[in-house]
Structure 1
């Protein structure tokens, strides 16, 4: 998956979580923190992303 596609999908996930009033967390092993990194590189993600 390209960086642009990852950014679009991460942004969409954050938007959906915001709309539903959800908080996100990530427990990663094999991905080495890439999921959390993709989510937290988006400005304003801290209002939805809790920890990872």
Structure 2
């Protein structure tokens, strides 16, 4: 199982997005492939999520 660290400071109200990323990573760890697309305006925290 992939460890689940606390949501980093500064990612307020991003629990849903972080959970989707964690779910995709856990599925990949089990051998299931998927893709994630992060889109949005500059400066909204896409890189911080990764």
Normalising TM by the smaller chain, what interval?
Answer: 0.3 to 0.5
Q: Which has the higher strand share?
A: 1
Q: Which has the higher contact order (CA 8 A, sep 6+)?
A: 1
The structure in which a higher percent of residues are helix is 1
Q: State the TM-score, normalized to the length of structure 2.
A: 0.41
Which of 1 and 2 has greater Rg? 2
> What TM-score results when the alignment is normalised by the length of structure 1?
0.40
